[in-house]
Structure 1
Amino acid sequence: MNIRAKDIRHGRNLALTASCALAALAGPALAADGEPDAGTIIVTGTRQVARSATESLAPIDVLSTKDLQASGKQSVRDLLGTLVPSINVSNSGAGASFAVKTLSLRGLAGDHVLILVNGKRRHNTATMFINGTTQNGQSPADLDLIPSNSIARVEVLRDGASAQYGSDAIAGVVNVILKEDTSGTATMLGGTTKDGGGETGRISVDKGFKLGEASLHLSAESWLQARTIRSASNPGQFYARVGQLYSATTGALDPREATVDRNVNKAGQPASEGFNLGYDLNIPVGAVKFYSFGTFSHRNNDAWLTYRFPDASNNIPEIYPNGYSPHLHISDHDYQVTAGIKSQKGAAINFDFSSSYGVSLVSLVESTALNASMGPNSPTTFYIGRTKSTEWTNNLDLQKDVNLGLYQPLSVAIGAEYRQSTYGIEAGEAASYIDGGYKSTTGANTGVLRTSGSQGVTGFAPSMAGSWKRKAWSAYVNLEQKILPGVEVALAGRHEDYSDFGKTDTGKISARIEPAKGFALRGTLSTGFRAPTLQQQHYSSASTINVSGVLLPVSALPVDSAAGIALGAKPLKPERSTNYSLGFVFNAIPRFNLTVDAYQIKLKDRILLSSTLQGAVVRSVLAAAGITSSAGGFYFGNSTDTRTRGIDVVGTYRADLGDLGNANLSLSANFTETVFTRVDSVPAVLSSAGLVLIGRDRQGDFTVGTPRNKFIANVAWEKGPAAINLRATRYGSVTQVNASAAGPDARIDPKVIFDLDASYKLTSGIKIGVGANNMFNIYPNTLPTSLQGNGFSLYNAYSPYGVSGGFYYARLSFGF
């Protein structure tokens, strides 16, 4: 714990130093307005250098600096989930999963969304989202580790783009564009939840500088966020649980049951603290420009795990006479640096050559825990181990307009990419995973063989540790041609070659027809792919999780492990998709814009984490593989095909209210449905035991685990120095499906969540604001008692708006 405290102090000091340095260097420049409109030039989904959002051949959302600022949301990820109806955010997880929040686009998983920064691929997190809700088995890029105040705008391409960008872009692309101007801002935000906990403080500073012809924009933000506790009291029997009764003669319970403190559960929002640093450097040199940008982050998250009873077999009363809750600490060290050189505007051939290197290093420590198999000699703090992922990406992109005598020149783009990825697991300390063989000679658990390894999250054993590498290269061609006025087509093709699973080819065709001014039809047809991540191929762990309301020690089994193979696991293949999209754009009415896009995504050989496999056969297989501390397990497989259909609707209107100011009105909606079109037959070893591989719980995660419909109504009003942003989001129903058909399932009713942000400019450079996220303090449905895990999870964690209720904040901003 001393190591962790040192890391925390180090993070605070670095963030404070960076923030103060930026403030001291700041000049008198005014902040840019930074609000794009429908005509904003975009860089996502096209290789052309001057295309607007309204001319795009596929649907693109553009979120401005104002959108980012007019909210109390604490991350870009949460903001995207609030503003884009086809994006939903996972808000909860168990074990190490609480540290990673993922997003889904158009009903697919977080790994199906490619994250770019300034058009360059962002590396993925080393943390595996393994014990969570709908996003189990994902390890996407962590948007929380990009400084929110470094962002000029975010472009969200809602269309399959594997042929243009490569693996992971099946559902679409999120492209974060960093600031490179001379604006400067400093912001302080403080807030808390209505029902206690969640106290948050955030300080951010960013400033741009002109260095001759060059420019440099620096950003720093630091935050402290307290936990919320939203559990119920524990109704279970605390003492003499093996014999169940205190006195076999009288049948009386232990008298301590009448006075024991039952408020022992601490589920809710985890505590978090850390900092993000970022820079964007541009140096023009004659006909070319050198550029570099990067982010550096450190974050500590911690949360309490499920309470262990005093007389349970996973406790040692000599250490914890009143039971205990393991306390898990996760420390992230993350950075990515990109450098390149590209042509200036007006070059005969536009080129861009770049190299990017990203690292995610995640360390785990558990305190207030024990290894019950070591008995009274067990330590109470454990180093669990760490995971590390790296990604080195190199790109060469060339683009030229070729005049073929048609209405406009043909835009020809070709390029190549080389990518090298690594993933590693470092073993924890021996006490975190060994079996000490302890059996007590007295008490409720006399003679009982205790569970080995640290409780909650078991340390990575040497057998789980290792390092793995992948190399991949690709080449693409992209053609865009306006044939006639109002008629445009585009073609893209990509070839990729992977060192560990072979070659793949994808293609895309797009068209846009504008039969009348202000009305256009657009559509795309594409194929896509996603390579299994190294994490999905090699991740191995042991932990104790809540399975249908019961704590169960389980193991994540790599597909090439002896236990995985014995239970039917096979080598993973890449996922393949076929995407269709058809829609229209209407903007013939001044200040009004409407887009409607329907889509279908067929996903073949989808990679899913299996349901939790348990029972005598599974325990026998695990024991034969030397895994004696787990009662169940799961592994990844290409076991299903799915089909997702939906419609996106986005309407905006800019109203001039005369003396009352002006207002931007928007109404958007998403309707999505996912069905399983193929589920593989159950491996014989599981079928003989009456088990299923992809059970109703895992299928339910993707069919009803996220809202099938979502509506967002937003009014942004301004008059002089005053501004108000009011947003109402209606989430459709969500259901947590039980693994057993006997249930119960847990449904979250449709709810409307209101967010409000009001601000006022005191002077040209100072602005104050107040606001509320979830203004009316709405909670999801409580879980059925049998799924609460003795009161640990009071509210349904599948909630798309969290389980902590309303958050209320105040903000002070300075522009310089």
Structure 2
Amino acid sequence: MNYKGLVSRAAIAIAISSSATVFAQDNAPQAAAVDEGAAIIVTGTRATGVTAAESAAPIKVLDSAALEKVGQPNLNQVLSQLVPSFTAEAFGGDTANLTLSARLRGLSPNHALVLVNGKRRHGTSNLHVLSGPYQGGAAPDLDMIPPGAIGRIEVLEDGAAAQYGSDAIAGVINIILKDEKDSISGSFTGGQYYEGDGTTFSGSITFAPKIDDDTYLNFTMFHRFHGFSQRGGVDSRIYNKDGTISDSLSAEHAAMVAIGLPNAPYTNRIVGDSRSTLSTVMYNAGHDFGGVEIYAFGSYGRREASAYENYRQPWRVSRSPVLGVAGEEILYSATGFNPREAIKEDDFSNTGGIKGEMGGFRWEVSTTYGQDYAKLFTLDSANRTLFINTGTTPGNFYDGFLKASEWTTNIDIAKEIEAGMAAPINIAFGGEYRENLFQIGKGDFASTYFEGGQSYPGFLATDAGKHKRNNKAAYLDIALNPVDIWKIDGAVRFEDYSDFGTKWTWKVTSRVDFTDQVAVRGTVSTGFRAPSLLESYYSSTNVGPTSAYVQLPPNSAAAKLLGYDDLKPETSTNYSLGLVLRPIPKLNITLDAYQVKMKNRIVGTGSIVGLTGGVVTNQAVLDAIAAHGNVLDPYVLEVGDAGINLFTNGADTRTRGVDLTASYPTSVGEGSILWSLSANYNTTKITKLRLPDSLYAADARSVLEDASPKYKVIAGGLLTMGGLSVNLRETFYGKSSQVVIYNGTTPTVKAGAAAITDLEVSYALTEGLTITAGANNLFDKKASTVPNGPDGLPIDGGAVLDAPVTFTPYGINGGYWYGKVGFKF
């Protein structure tokens, strides 16, 4: 690590600004004297009129101005650059690269509950299957929500399962949509990586027509294109590191070179961003009839994306002998081929509700239906066995579909009661009914014939199926102020799942303001998360050029043959203790320590190997694969590795961490600088392994304990002077590592600590027109490279030399520049 460069950049950040995380951290004032701490919050409490500054739980409020000062038009990137405890996936394996995920406080993506206008958002249908920090993720796809539709985001960094139900173990992300009247706003953005690829164009426009004083209607349209990037080095099977042709080519490789390889010498393009187009529309509407309001909001998104997989050499798909000419061989492609996995995804959600007040009771009834439907394809590929047996194979395959839906209906009632305390007691109670569905649709004939298409076989009949469940819940929440300086908020919740039975959870939060300058707050709560239907029933075959691993459903007979049980719910106990300090006017500091202890945590087993180098090492694993009806690639059986993966309640874990925020505005001539500092330290340990070592692979432990940086610090600031604003942010990431399985060994891949600089300059040409230029990762920090094994090939990343470590939180692509035009009238 270049400490000299890190220190110099830190000095720049502190001297000029301090991570323009222009978010309201509790009562943090903004530049231009805007006090976002005065914003009324609706997350983490069911009392009315509570501000972020008064919250008993740690909550961050990100306003629309903060969201606009992140260059890449992607909500995952916005939150990652503004919230230290939030990390976004930079690169995913296989279909996960088409729908990237995110997580909060170092836990699973499934442990953060996402709400829109306070209503539960449905999850994605595209399960993150392959090993890594985001494995098992089936959380809502934040990328489907256009940033231009958002008025603010409230991030509750505290366990809240007793208030909101299953999934709210790490916290809650509540996205509040704009409800403006009589305005038109939008932006147009273009940019690309310094390498000249990953070109991105986006446009967003929000219409908010003036209807009448009691009605609002906001309608946002968003479109984005993002091109491929390529970050791996040369293909080591044919080229030297400098791109020249190797002196020790085999005759077969020499023949490929003579014909000409595509994209030479960067033949294998697996390490890079997918190419995608995303179009979304979102609306938010309501009308107040005088004491009773009806409202509706919803979204529709369409994504088409494809990602490169490992390059296949010509003899991976060959047929011998040629009909009528004994002893000769037909190759499907004389130079090989680079398959792609592709998705066509439709995502929609709609909510309708009515609320009002009668007899001192506030009441609300709402219902939400959301669905994500994804068709999967393998492109530019071939089915080896089909070609050998028939002499022909299609190049493109339909692999089947994934569908996940959620229907949630809520009734909420609240009333304030005078009891002689410093403030009325707020009593809230209500109920929820929720139905979930997950379905896998079978692939076409060619995609499921024997081993299917190279790089991604279609879903088999044994994979396909439809699974449902429902859940009924009731809650009671009481908030009171015994005296002026003391707040208490308690909640209890009862859940009844059709497949898991019943569970009680509870939460108690308290805050004491000793003076205007010092407050102490803390929370004790229990949590509960039912395994998603995707974790329980997803099934597929994950393949590489010389490997095949079957993702077994844990709720299957094949998994029982190996000793795995059906998935059970996870439970958690959360503790947090914090300080809120204002030692001098305008200086705001919060410090919150937390611990999350989880039992029966659902984890990936890692790769349980049954075949190594064509040699059987565990016959029981191969028997389980056969029992589930999967057929493996004959070439893999001859020379490769094969095994299984699945999800299981494999461990108890303990996550500990600290969140720090500080902000301070200063005057500079006729302008101001908002200085801000935020940090998160987070570590997870396995306290109990609930599986024998034979059922839990070596790489799985490191995913939980070491694959995420222990710390993330964001430091910078926002200079505002007239129509000019300069936003500088420095983000420091700790080191991380991950064990991989390579040729029967378990080497470690390491990612070093890094400092990433973001800079943005904006100028208001007129009152409603602003131009912006900026860069993310200004100094082009690159990810560490994967080391080579004894055979000279990278131990993780196919045959690509200098392949970047893909689990770095700041990504694999280096610097990104952009320009933007924003308007509001």
Conserved 8 A contact 1:34-1:64: no
> Quick check: 1:384–1:459 contact (8 Å CA) kept in 2?
yes
State which of 624, 627, 647 in structure 2 corresponds to 1:636.
Answer: 647
Relative to 1, partners in 2 of residues 1:175 and 1:36: Cα closer, same or farther, differing over 3 Å?
Answer: farther
How far does residue 696 in structure 1 lie from its aligned partner after superposition?
2.8
Q: In the alignment, what sits opposite 1:3?
A: none
1:49-68 matched pairs, under 5 angstroms: 49-68=48-67
**Matched letter for residue 811 of structure 1:** K
Matched, 1:321 2:331: no
**TM-score in terms of structure 2 length:** 0.88
Offset, 1:714:
1.9
Aligned to 1:678: 688
- Tell me how far 1:108 sits from its aligned partner: 0.4
* Pairs within 5 Å for 1:99-248: 99-131=98-130, 133-182=132-181, 183-212=183-212, 213-236=214-237
Structure 2 CA distance for partners of 1:348 and 1:210, relative to 1, 3 Å: farther
For 2:435, the equivalent position in structure 1 comes to: 420
Deviation at 1:35, TM superposition (A): 6.7
Query: Structure 1 residues 757, 551: CA separation in 2 closer, same or farther (over 3 Å shift)?
Result: farther
Q: Deviations over 1:475-525 (max 9, x none)?
A: 000011011111111110000000011111100011101111221000000
Deviation of the 1:257 alpha carbon: 6.6
Correspondence for 1:716: 718
The question of whether the paired residues in 1 share the 8 Å contact of 2:317 and 2:331 is answered with no
CA separation in 1, counterparts of 2:250 and 2:437?
60
Query: Is the contact between residue 147 and residue 295 of structure 1 (CA under 8 Å) also seen in structure 2?
Result: no
Which amino acid letter does the alignment assign opposite residue 291 of structure 1? Y
Size of the alignment, in residue pairs?
746
Q: Which residue of 2 aligns with 1:335?
A: 348
1:426, distance to aligned residue in structure 2 (A): 0.7
Change over 3 Å in CA distance of 1:413–1:265 after alignment to 2: same
Following TM superposition, by how much is the alpha carbon of 1:404 offset from its aligned partner in structure 2, in angstroms? Answer: 1.1
1:352 aligned partner: 364
**Which residue of the partner structure matches residue 750 of structure 1?**
753
Measured in 2, the distance between the counterparts of 1:551 and 1:708 equals 34
Distance 1:153 1:133 in 2: 31
Distance 1:251 1:731 in 2: 43
What is the SS of the residue equivalent to 2:652? Answer: strand
Change (3 A) 1:215 1:35: farther
Map of 2:18 onto structure 1 = none
Structure 2: which amino acid aligns with 1:677? T
* Cα distance, 1:127 vs structure 2: 0.5
Deviations along 1:368-390, one digit per CA (max 9) or x if unpaired, are 10110111311111001100011
Partner of residue 4, structure 2: none
The 1:220/1:314 distance shift into structure 2, 3 A limit, reads: farther
1:170-201 CA-to-partner distances (Å, cap 9, x unmatched) read 00000000000123212111111101211111
Q: CA deviation at 1:739?
A: 3.8
Q: Is the 8 A contact 2:282 2:299 kept in 1?
A: yes
Q: C-alpha displacement at 1:793, in angstroms?
A: 7.4
1:311 and 1:352, CA in 2 relative to 1: closer, same or farther beyond 3 A?
same
CA distance in 1 between partners of 2:318 and 2:109 (Å): 35
Contact 2:678 2:713 in 1 (8 A): yes
Partner Cα separation in structure 1 for residue 782 and residue 121 of structure 2: 34
1:302-701 equivalent positions in 2, closer than 5 A: 302-312=306-316, 318-343=331-356, 348-375=360-387, 376-435=391-450, 452-545=451-544, 551-615=546-610, 616=616, 617=619, 618-629=621-632, 631-659=642-670, 661-682=671-692, 692-701=694-703
Counterpart secondary structure, 1:536: helix
CA contact (8 A) 1:204 1:222 kept: yes
What residue is the counterpart of 1:802 in the other structure?
A: 811
Change (3 A) 1:713 1:347: farther
Q: What's 2:737 paired with?
A: 735
Cα 1:342–1:140, aligned 2, differ >3 Å: closer, same or farther?
Answer: same
CA contact (8 A) 1:426 1:466 kept: yes
Q: Which residue identity is paired with 2:443?
A: G
Q: Secondary structure at the match of 2:67?
A: helix
Counterpart Cα distance in 2 of 1:347 and 1:87: 42
- Alpha-carbon separation, structure 2, partners of 1:34 and 1:123: 38
Identical aligned pairs, as a percentage? 35
Give, in whole Å, the separation in 2 of the partners of 1:747 and 1:281. 49
Q: Does the CA contact (< 8 Å) of 2:41 and 2:52 recur in 1?
A: yes
Per-residue CA distance 1:428-458 (angstroms, 9 max, x = gap): 10110112xxxxxxxxxxxxxxxx2111111
> What residue in structure 2 maps to residue 241 of structure 1?
none
**Native 8 Å contact 1:34 1:152 kept in 2:** no
Q: Which amino acid aligns with 1:579?
A: N
Q: Who is 2:638 aligned against? A: none
- Which residue identity lines up with residue 373 of structure 2 in the other structure? L
Q: 2:676 and 2:698 mapped to 1: Cα distance?
A: 37
Q: Deviations over 1:743-766 (max 9, x none)?
A: 421111111000111100111111
Residues in 1 aligned to 2:318 and 2:524: alpha-carbon distance in whole angstroms: 55
C-alpha change, 1:295 and 1:392, in structure 2 (3 Å) is same
The yes-or-no answer on 1:771 pairing with 2:774 is yes
Q: Which amino acid aligns with 2:754?
A: K
Determine the C-alpha separation between the residues in 2 that align with 1:317 and 1:361.
39
The structure with higher relative contact order (CA 8 Å, sep 6+) is 2
Residues 254/154 of structure 1: CA separation in 2 closer, same or farther (3 Å cut): closer
Alpha-carbon distance in 1 for matches of 2:515, 2:546: 62
Specify every segment of 5 or more residues in structure 2 that has no aligned partner in the other structure, as ranges.
Answer: 1-31, 240-246, 320-328, 611-615, 634-641, 789-793
**What is the CA distance between 1:742 and its match in structure 2?**
4.9
Instruction: Indicate the SS of the match to 1:124.
Output: coil
Q: Does 1:276 align with 2:276?
A: no
Instruction: Please tell me whether residue 762 in structure 1 is matched to residue 757 in structure 2.
Output: no
Displacement, 1:328?
1.4
For the 8 Å contact 1:569–1:636, the answer to whether it is kept is no
Q: Distance in 1 between matches of 2:83 and 2:515?
A: 28
Q: 2:600 touches 2:652 (CA, 8 Å); kept in 1?
A: yes
Equivalent residue, structure 2, for 1:89 = 88
Give 1:557's aligned amino acid: L
SS at match of 1:573: coil
CA contact (8 A) 2:122 2:406 kept: yes
Q: Structure 1 residues 36, 561: CA separation in 2 closer, same or farther (over 3 Å shift)?
A: farther
SS in 2 for 1:144: helix
Deviation at 1:596, TM superposition (A): 0.1
Cα shift at 1:251? 9.2
Uncovered stretches (5+) of structure 1, i.e. residues with no partner? 1-32, 239-245, 436-451, 683-690
- Contact kept in structure 1, 2:555 and 2:567, CA below 8 Å: no
Does the CA-based 8 Å contact 1:36-1:62 persist in structure 2? Answer: no
Task: Give the C-alpha shift of residue 89 in structure 1.
Answer: 1.3
> Under a length normalisation based on structure 1, what TM-score does the superposition of the two structures give?
0.89
* CA distance in 1: counterparts of 2:767 and 2:622, whole angstroms: 68
Distance 1:576 1:34, change over 3 A: farther
| Contact 1:404/1:410 (8 A) holds in 2 | yes
Which residue identity does 2:811 align to in structure 1?
G
8 Å CA contact 2:58, 2:158 repeated in 1: yes
**Partner SS, residue 692 of structure 1:** helix
